[in-house]
Amino acid sequence: MVNIHIYRSYTVTPSEKTPTTTLSLSLCDQLKLPNHGYQLYLFTNKNHSSSSLISSTNILITSLSKTLTHYYPFAGRLSWIKPQNHLLQLHCNNKGVQFLEATCDITLKDFGSFDSTHVVQKLVPKINYDVPVEDLPLLVVQFTKFPCGSLTLGLSMGRSVLDGSSAGSFISSWAKLAKGESLDSSLIPFLDKTLLDSKILHLPPRFHHHEFSPPPLWENSSNNSTHLSKNPLFATTMLKFTKKQVEKLKNKANNNENKVRGYTSFEVISGYLWRCVSKVRFEGNWNQPTRLTTLVNCRNRLNPPLPMNYFGNATFPTVTQTCSFDDVVNKPFCSVVGKVREAVKKVNDEYVRSVLDYVANQKDMNLLRDKFYNFAKRNGQFGGEPNLYVVGWTNFPFNESDFGWGKPDCMVPGIVNSDGIGKAYILDEANGDGFVVSVCLQPFHIDALKKLFYEDMEMITSSKL
């Protein structure tokens, strides 16, 4: 049995005086649940001595303190706005972030496959949600050292405060300061959240925002009792695309349709993954409804664009049209990729402004969050929905995070909650040769997915469909 021993805990605050103020979260921030997202960075076989490990801890804590001087909202706490118990605000009160120092009694190699979320969750900080939100740190770090000299850095980051782009900027800033470098202007966070507020109060939305409508659930014809399980089980796996494989999928999708712009890597990977997941979930009902949800980074889609160093959430959900398993699995590959393209393409400045107006008109934000995140669970389908939720973490600097002992061998997203069933992250391969996809499904679907994933890729790229 693996033994992780957390032997020291620090509270880290900004190294210099920072503003003490209360920030209203943007409407985009308000959409997020007040919980945490997880990342795990692996630095293998670094052969640190005991003295250098102590030095590494001191460097990490000192540089984190300096980083918080710029990213001081991260050292604050959320609270519910009273008397309306449905909107959050952020108190920049300098309560600090938590830094945990830990050891593991086995080598990183013996720890097992990082395909498994059950392995990853041992190395990312656990958050106690039994306490009031006012007492929850927005950042908790777990620095774990192994007998072999390897290191891991596990992060739990408040979802209401930042998205993937902001997380990348924060990690890059921390790593630079850990090496004694200075921050250029692109890494100094822009903290004005009013840019993502509704411009005119009570203006009705101009679009039908299906991303906030209930997702398809398993139809009664499904004979899989695990969809109704009260004790949900989940498992993860890491699948890899080489650049050559992605180019083949692009060529296949692009050859079947005349377009001004060819399909992107994200579009073809998402479409292909949706196809594979639907295929392994198939239980005899080709009419089973399904849809794909993803997030679109709108920093460059707004007019005028947001500053690239905007710190907060600027990713908005979008969904494909609801279709059938037959549409996703049996129609030409370009068809399913085209559905992803349509969902992403529609999120322009006008659409985002309409989303903001839609959110601003909500009487109870808790109901909107619950409908968006927990609809299937509330309807008894603990085994997950027949849908797929894809997060794109490509083109972010996660793999460049050198704190002084080299770049990470890999970064693994921590899908540690069972609510993540039917969720996938697309990341850049650390060596630059393609992409890694971390997928969370019910356990009995994982082996089938791993087999089908590579078999179908060859079949699709060589067929005439």
> How many of the other CB atoms lie within 10 Å of CB of 36?
25
Angle subtended by helix axes 443-462 and 265-281, to nearest 10:
120
Residues in contact with 350: Cβ distance below 8 Å, sequence separation at least 6, in sequence order: 206
* pLDDT at residue 257 is higher than 80: no
414 and 387 within one domain? yes
Angle 243-255/443-462 helices, nearest 10 degrees? Answer: 60
Q: pLDDT tens digits for 290-315?
A: 999 999 999 999 999 999 999 999 99
Sign of the dihedral through C-alpha 447, 452, 455, 461: negative
The answer to which of 44-58, 129-143, 278-292 has the lowest mean pLDDT is 44-58
Residue at 324 is within a domain: yes
Q: Is the pLDDT of residue 437 over 90?
A: yes
- Identify the band that residue 109 occupies on the pLDDT scale cut at 50, 70 and 90: confident
- Distance CA(148)–CA(47), nearest Å, equals 6
- What's the predicted TM-score (pTM) here? 0.93
In a domain, residue 47? The reply is: yes
Domain contains 202: no
In a domain, 201, yes or no: no
Q: By C-alpha distance, which of 415, 416, 460 is closest to 437?
A: 415
Tell me the DSSP string of 46-72: ----HHHHHHHHHHHHHHHHHHHHHSG
If residue 170 lies in a helix (H) or strand (E), which one and from where to where? helix 164-178
Indicate the average pLDDT of the chain: 88
Q: Is 173 exposed, middle or buried (0-12, 13-18, 19+ CB in 10 A)?
A: buried
- The answer to whether residue 230 scores a pLDDT higher than 70 is no
| Whether 132 and 237 share a structural domain | no
How confident is residue 417, by pLDDT bands cut at 50, 70 and 90? Answer: low
Are 117 and 250 members of one domain? Answer: no
3-class SS at 145? strand
Name the most confidently modeled range: 63-67, 192-196, 205-209: 63-67
The CA-CA-CA angle for residues 58, 59, 60, to 5°, reads 90
Which SS3 state, helix, strand or coil, does residue 412 take? strand
For 439-451, how does the pLDDT look when each residue is reduced to its tens digit (9 = 90+)?
998 888 999 999 9
Domain co-membership, 239 together with 135? no
- The residue-averaged pLDDT of 431-438 equals 92
Same domain, 225 and 88: no
Sequence-distant (≥ 6) Cβ neighbours of residue 340 within 8 angstroms: 266, 267, 270, 271, 274, 292, 294, 320
CA–CA separation, 205 and 349 (whole Å): 13
* Nearest Cα residue to 374 out of 360, 384, 388: 384
Q: Provide the CATH number for the domain around residue 289.
A: 3.30.559.10
226 and 91 share a domain? no
Same domain, 21 and 133: yes
Q: Are residues 130 and 240 in the same domain?
A: no
| Total number of domains in the chain | 2
7 has a pLDDT exceeding 90: yes
Whether residues 218 and 136 share a domain: the answer is no
Provide mean pLDDT across the span 313-321. Answer: 96
Q: What is the pLDDT of residues 9-58, one digit of tens each?
A: 999 999 999 999 999 899 999 999 999 999 999 998 666 555 555 688 99
Q: Are 382 and 228 in contact (CB under 8 A)?
A: yes
**How large is the average pLDDT for residues 328-344?**
96
Where does the pLDDT of residue 223 fall: very low under 50, low under 70, confident under 90, or very high at 90 and above?
A: very low
Tell me the C-alpha distance between 434 and 430, whole Å.
Answer: 9
Q: Answer whether residue 204 is part of any domain.
A: no
Q: Which of 196, 224, 242 is the last residue in one of the domains?
A: 196
pLDDT of residue 9: 97
Residue 318, domain extent: 212-462
Max Cα–Cα distance, the chain, nearest Å: 64
According to the 3-state scheme, what is the secondary structure of 216-272?
Answer: CCCCCCCCCHHHHCCCCCCEEEEEEECHHHHHHHHHHHHHCCCCCCCCCHHHHHHHH
Does residue 168 sit in the same domain as residue 308?
Answer: no
pLDDT tops 60 at residue 224? no
pLDDT of 81 strictly over 60? yes
Q: Are residues 157 and 226 in the same domain?
A: no
156 within 8 A of 38, measured Cβ to Cβ? yes
- Give just the sign of the alpha carbon dihedral 417, 284, 266, 445: positive
Domain assignment present for 206: no
